[in-house]
Structures are given as structure tokens and as C-alpha cells.
Amino acid sequence: MTPVSSKLYADDVSLLMVLVDTNPYFWSSMKNTAFTFPKFISHVLAFLNSILLLNQMNQVVVIATGYNSCDYVFDSSTSSMQRAECLLEKLEDFVDKDESLSQEDSVDGIGFSLLSGSLSMALCYIQRVFRSGPLHPQPRILCLHGSPDGPGQYVAVMNSIFSAQRSMVPIDSCVIGSQHSAFLQQASYITGGVYLKPQVSDGLFQYLSTVFATDLHSRSFLQLPRPVGVDFRASCFCHKNTIDMGFICSVCLSIFCKHHKKCSTCGSNFGEARKQDPSASDQRTSDGS
């Protein structure tokens, strides 16, 4: 006998994709602070369990964002995983595997975690749900991110953001590191999600339950943090630097920090066109292109 879930649908149902930053270099840099990885995970577990508690149709999927790889570590729709604590084992395996991969090359500084990879995985999962079930699962993505933005992932991250925007999936971002993340600011801004950098990371659960537990239905009635300032600057495709001014290809809109003879993305030839009509194919872009 199935439980008495007489309703097949509820307003406040949600499919929550949580991207957890497990970058070992970032977390080792946090060792001196009060907010360590085990503490972070305990806050996240309480949050995930409360999401599952709120509605029997709520679904939570956790994707670990590592330094070299990313993987699903928890899916509440599988019958063996009823409680969020089940993710611990898989998470440990994942972190070990991720660390073993990175021993090959040395890393200076904190390094970047593979945000673009986990974002794409989350979107793929959502697409699969969209295409398999008759119900609209009301999906959203929550990025719990601490590592700095990896400039090399700029194009991939932006593509994921636009894909999320098209499928109307909001990307919420909770930045637990010391700096703001321009990628996530843009992601939340473009997809209509919430961007928040908690002032007191010790109270992460309170931030999560107050802001990020809000289902999409309730968001139209509640006061949520609004974007204060978004760093809209783009990165160039050639050196992955964040630039204020640059060149864009008039054919494919690729961005470059220097003048090139040929577009590396679409192969358009700028040099010859420039000789005939200097203003036609090359344009200067200003801030906020």
C-alpha cells in the first residue's frame, strides 16, 4: 500500500540540485578559520533533510564539485537514500578519488573547482527529469561555492547559465569563500536566482533555511536578498582574463583582449576585412557588453 499521498501535486514542490564545493585546496585554506569542511557539511545535511521534510514530493540531488572532477553523491529519489546522511560515504570516496587525480600536477594557491562541470551535470539531470515525467518538478540549482572563479571555465559556465535561463531554472548562489564570485553573480542575475554571501559563515544553516529553502512558488510573496552589484565583466577567450575593454568578433561575438588576425572561434578573417573597411568587422566593446 502506498502512503496516503492523495495529492499528486503541490504548489511548493521542488527539485533541488545542490552543488557542493569540495575543492581540497580551498578547504585547507579555511582550516585556520572557525568554518571547516565538516562543519559546513553538517549545516548542509540539516538543510537537505529539512527540504526533504517539507514536502513528500521534494527531491534533492547533490553534486560534488571537486578540483579535477565532479560527480553525483546523493539522490533522494533512489530508495536506498532516504536521508541526506547517506551522502557522506559517497562524498568521502569522491574526495579521495579527486585528490588522487590532482597529485599529478602541482597547484599554486587555492586553485579552482570545476563549477562548469557540475553546472552542466545539474542541467542534464533536470533535462532528463523534464523529459521523463509528466509533472513539472519546479527545479532549481543551489551552488554552495567557495573557490575563486576559474577564468578557464568562463565560456562553459556562461553557456550553462544561458542554458539554465532557457529552461527557466534559477541558479541560487551561496558564496562561502572570502571573495565574491562574478560567475555566480551573473548566473543568479541572469536566471532570476538569489545570490548571497553570508556575513557570518557559522550561521550557514540559518541563511540556507531562510533564503535558499524558499520554493519557487513562495518566492513571489517573500522578500529575498536582491542583487546589489553584479560584476558583468566578461573574460577574453584568448587568455581567459577578465577585461574591461576588448575586441569582439562581429560574426560570432567572441571576446578577445587583443587584436587578432583571425577569430579563434569561428575562423573569420579580420585582417583583410580591416584593410577594406576598418570599421566594419572589428568593434570595440565597452564595459558590460
Query: Residue numbers of the site for other proteins (CB under 8 A)?
Result: 1-4, 6-12, 46, 49-50, 52-56, 82-83, 134-136, 138, 168, 205-206, 209-210, 213-218, 220-223
**Which residues, 6 or more positions from 49, have their beta carbon under 8 angstroms from its beta carbon?**
83, 84
Q: Which is nearer to other proteins, 83 or 239 (CB)?
A: 83
Q: Which is nearer to other proteins, 51 or 249 (CB)?
A: 51
C-alpha cell at 269: 578573417
CB of 203 to other proteins, least distance (A): 9
Measuring CA to CA, how many Å separate 55 from each of 49, 222, 270? 11, 19, 57
Q: Is 240 left (phi over 0), alpha (psi -120 to 50) or beta?
A: left
Q: Which is nearer to other proteins, 55 or 265 (CB)?
A: 55
Q: Which is nearer to other proteins, 8 or 34 (CB)?
A: 8
CB of 67 to other proteins, least distance (A): 32
CB of 51 to other proteins, least distance (A): 9
Please provide residue 92's backbone torsions phi and psi, each rounded to the nearest 5 degrees. -65, -45
CB of 23 to other proteins, least distance (A): 28
DSSP string, 102-142: HTSS---SS----HHHHHHHHHHHHHHHHHH-SS---EEEE
CB of 156 to other proteins, least distance (A): 25
Please provide residue 197's backbone torsions phi and psi, each rounded to the nearest 5 degrees. -120, 100
Q: Which is nearer to other proteins, 32 or 220 (CB)?
A: 220
| 259 C-beta neighbours (distance < 10 Å), count | 11
